[in-house]
Amino acid sequence: MSSRQATEGRMAALLVTATLAALALAGVYIAGGQPQAEGALLGVSLGGIGVALVLWARGLASEGTVVGERGDLAGDAADEAAVEERIEEVLDEQPGRRSVLRLFWAAGGALGLAAVFPLRSLGPAPGRALLTTAWYRGARLVDVNGRPLTVGTLQVGGTLTAFPQGAQHAGDSQVVVVRVADGELRPRPGRESWSPQGYVAYSKICPHVGCPVSLYQADAHELLCPCHQSTFDVLDGARPTFGPATRSLPQLPLAVDAQGYLIAQADFDEPVGPGFWNRD
Ligand code: FES
């Protein structure tokens, strides 16, 4: 057996092993997955292809320096056809090399197939889940113990954290409710009816990196985020006045129902939380 044939044999064995490992990797994933086994099979498959490539480069791709006369490069369609025909003839004369190339394709294809399956792990598309919260028109505001808030719950200068009734565990829906004196607020256009009797509610999730905005300085009418000291002006739509936050806290439109309970007029009119990719 010549050294070329021996090299081809080793490459064939490596590529067959890589192909089987890639197919086994796909099988393990389909069967439910096992991280250690998947890692080992991926290593075997990639390693087999890699070593085969090295062998190919060192033993088969080159047979030393070949120097050819450049000559006239101009050619016509007949010349091109003749060259292609000659290449095919050369390949046909070297069945070992051609079969090795086929094994390369097989191993690469099997590995590509195995790489497609994990797309399933991305899970379902989020849909509108990132754009909405648990608030809805008519939802009562409740405190941490589930008690509904009424117009008499807070004195001017008071604050508490509230949740939509029935969805107290919805982390993206918690709001900080503040009561200010009538006439102090400077509502933004279109928000004139969002703050009945001085009650105003803002998302509690800091738009910087998501810490809970949990401190209120009543004398300055400022909400503070303890993580990086972002400060928000309660009277001016929770506009950031200090710190790294660059966006206002989303405001929940409030109303008072016939029984005197604080309710939401609707969900937030913008996404809550930090770094939302559709916001400036
Ligand atoms: S998370 Fe609030 S300031 Fe950084």
Q: How far is the CA of 231 from the centre of ligand 1 (A)?
A: 9
Residues 6+ apart with CB under 8 A from 102: none
Q: How far is the CA of 44 from the centre of ligand 1 (A)?
A: 45
Q: How far is the CA of 224 from the centre of ligand 1 (A)?
A: 9
Atom index in ligand 1 nearest the CA of residue 245 equals: 3
Q: Which pLDDT belongs to residue 79? A: 83
Q: Please tell me if the CB atom of residue 208 comes closer than 6 angstroms to any atom of ligand 1.
A: yes
Q: Please tell me if the CB atom of residue 227 comes closer than 6 angstroms to any atom of ligand 1.
A: yes
Q: Using alpha carbons, select from 214, 150, 221, 238 the residue that is nearest to residue 181.
A: 221
Please name the residue ranges forming H helices in the chain: 3-30, 35-55, 77-93, 95-116
Atom index in ligand 1 nearest the CA of residue 209 equals: 1
* 49-70: b (≥16 Cβ within 10 Å) or e: bebbeebbeebbeeeeeeeeee
Write the pLDDT tens digit of every residue in 88-139. 776 666 656 678 788 888 888 888 888 887 787 787 877 777 789 999 999 9
Write the pLDDT tens digit of every residue in 236-245. 999 999 999 9
Mutate to test the pocket of ligand 1, among 176, 215, 227, 247 (most ligand atoms within 8 A of CB): 227
Q: How far is the CA of 174 from the centre of ligand 1 (A)?
A: 16
Q: Please tell me if the CB atom of residue 215 comes closer than 6 angstroms to any atom of ligand 1.
A: no
Q: How far is the CA of 279 from the centre of ligand 1 (A)?
A: 17
Q: Which pLDDT belongs to residue 92? A: 65
**Could you give the angle at the alpha carbon of 175 between the alpha carbons of 247 and 169, nearest 5°?**
120
Q: Please tell me if the CB atom of residue 243 comes closer than 6 angstroms to any atom of ligand 1.
A: yes
The segments of the chain whose pLDDT lies below 50 read none
Q: How far is the CA of 5 from the centre of ligand 1 (A)?
A: 66
Q: Which pLDDT belongs to residue 184? A: 92
Atom index in ligand 1 nearest the CA of residue 243 equals: 3
Distance CA 256, CA 258 (A): 7
Phi-psi label, residue 183: left if phi above 0, alpha if psi -120 to 50, beta otherwise: left
Residue 92 near residue 1 (C-beta atoms within 8 A): no
Residue 196 near residue 179 (C-beta atoms within 8 A): no
Ligand 1, atom 4: nearest CA belongs to which residue?
Answer: 228
For the whole model, what pTM was predicted?
Answer: 0.64
* Torsion, CA 94, CA 98, CA 103, CA 108, rounded to 10: 140
